[in-house]
Structure 1
Amino acid sequence: MTSSAVPDPLGRSSGPRSAPLPAADQRPLALVYRGPAALPGCPEAVAALLAAGGWGLDIRYTGPREALPLTAESLARATVYAQPGGGSLSPAYWRLRRRRNAIRDYVRGGGRYLGFCLGGYLAGATPGFDLLPGDTDQYIVTPGATVDDERDTLVDVAWRGEPRTLYFQDGPHFVLDEGADATVLATYPNGSVAALVTPFGAGRVGVVGPHPEATDDWFTEVGLPVHRAHDLGLDLAAAVLAD
């Protein structure tokens, strides 16, 4: 996935500043992780996607260098927590492992989790936050995968039965337990699951392996034709945010 910095759609810089949590009667809070477990550009793309959804969210970054730390207190006030793309799974989980219980408790208690690529991997169990009725693995190692390396590329999916092409960089597929309570939104050409929504306790989890949030520069910087798929990212977010 891209490692290029992009302009912050929220117009907010990182760093410790006075940023009190919103009062209960203000807009619903959306927290987007930004920190060492994500690559520059990925949190900003997720924030821009959520801002375009028309939900009236108060979108703020959370992380070790942000005004709002990723804590149980911050999560308790959030309507949705988004985990964007990043680098490799094991280093990212190592950086977030101390937040695992807080994230699980938040979702179990009624919170919403959105995971994009690495954020999808982190929703799994080995290692991860264990939010799924199953686990994750690399799509590129599945039998019949149409992508077989970790380079930035395109991948075809069937999203709610319609063919689409998305930005992809070693994203996960989702391995569901037999009889799992999950709604599959998208599949890769070999039938493995590319995006899904599932309950976890009183909350809801939505994950996707490719990058529907990708901005045009993600494609052009690696010489790929642009295939915008923000409508699919909004579809995933809408399914997670639905009452």
Structure 2
Amino acid sequence: MTNPRIPRRVFLGAAVAGLATACAPPPAPRPAPPAARPNALVHRGSGAPQGTAEAVAELLSAPPLNYRVAFTGTGEDVPLDAESLSGAVLYAYPGGGDVGPAWWRLRRSAGAIRDFVRGGGCYLGFCLGAYLAGSSPGLGLLPGDTDRYAGSPGSEISHTAGAVVDVDWRQRGRQVYFQDGPYFRLEAAAPVSVLAHYRSGQPAAVVGSHGRGSFGLVGPHPEATDSWYTDDELPVPAPTRDLAVDLVNTALAGRGQGA
């Protein structure tokens, strides 16, 4: 059987197409997919003061941290339970409010939070969140407890209104927004690193391990935006977000170092 005759126009078209393909530059390589952003949960829920959770979320989601943030707590789309925590690297509790009512709302989730940290997660506590890492009442993550800095021995703060405090952060003097935050009463030889001290010498920011996880706690508010100062008619110091980033990164580096 003879081969069917290929029309000349088809042959020429195929030849031209082949020549064009041979002369065309190779296709540009596809860019590598961006690395998945780690997940973080920020506590908000009903009863949270406006702006405090949002400031922590903004800190975590912006460079250089670049977390994918979701709000959790009563009334939020993401429930505060073991399943939600299992998909996160860290859980952050912001400032604002009183310890008693906050603990009353949090206590039902306390077991899930403790398990999350013991299993390798990271707990971040800013002001109120730092109080809640203690034990009177609280999650019991801190080896020791917390106490109110305002009015404590050697404190320069005697009121609970917004203020600017001097801290020694990694041996460098800084000014940070403060409102009725804690200092940390640590057990002797506690496996905790102190990042910052108040003027009185009491610990103002600490990181440590708990099980296979870790925590980072701070009494003042390095996550504060300029509006926090201006709303309280306070002088605005140099930005302090670098201190908050240091707290987060140092706390995360402590995961896996505990028993």
**What TM-score do the two structures reach when normalised by structure 1?**
0.87
Query: Which deviations, in whole Å up to 9, do the C-alpha atoms of 1:99-135 show, x marking residues without a partner?
Result: 1111101000000010000000000000011100100
In structure 1, the partner of 2:145 is 135
Shift of 1:225: 1.1
| Alpha-carbon distance, 1:38 to partner | 2.7
User: Hey, what's the Cα distance between the residues in 1 that align with 2:212 and 2:151?
Assistant: 33
CA distance in 1, matches of 2:243, 2:193: 15
CA shift digits 1:22-64 (9 cap, x unpaired): xxx9421100011135311001000111122423321111112
1:63 paired residue among 60, 73, 81: 73
- The farther-off stretch of 212-221 and 31-40 is 31-40
Q: Is the 8 A contact 1:28 1:79 kept in 2?
A: yes
Residue 177, structure 1, aligned to residue 187, structure 2: yes
Moved over 2 A (4+): 52-56
Q: Percent identity?
A: 53
Residue among 188, 192, 210 paired with 1:200: 210
Alignment of 1:48-197 (within 5 A): 48-197=58-207
Query: Rg bigger for which structure?
Result: 2
Write the distance in 2 (CA, Å) between the matches of 1:206 and 1:56.
18
CA offsets per residue over residues 144-180 of structure 1, 9 Å max, x none? 1010110111111000010001100000000100000
Distance 2:149 2:63 in 1: 28
CA distance in 1, matches of 2:163, 2:194: 23
- 1:216 matched residue in structure 2: 226
CA distance in 1, matches of 2:96, 2:133: 14
Amino acid at match of 1:149: H
**Aligned-pair CA distance for 1:67:** 1.4
Structure 1 residue 76 displacement after superposition: 0.9
Across the aligned residues of Structure 1 and Structure 2, the Cα RMSD in angstroms comes to: 1.2
* Residue of structure 1 in register with 2:243 after alignment: 232
- Report the TM-score, using the length of structure 2 for normalisation: 0.82
Residue 37 of structure 1 contacts residue 96 of structure 1 at CA under 8 Å; is this kept in 2? no
Q: Secondary structure at the match of 1:101?
A: helix
Structure 2 contact 166–173 (Cα < 8 Å) conserved: yes
Tell me if structure 1 keeps the 8 A contact 2:193–2:207: yes
CA separation in 2, counterparts of 1:114 and 1:158?
20
Q: What SS is found at the alignment partner of 2:40? A: strand
Q: Distance in 2 between matches of 1:160 and 1:216?
A: 23
Q: How many residues align?
A: 219
Equivalent position SS for 1:183: strand
Letter in 2 for 1:208: V
Q: Which SS does the other structure have where 2:114 is aligned?
A: helix
- CA deviation map 1:60-104 (0-9, x unaligned): 111122111111110011100000012111111011111111110
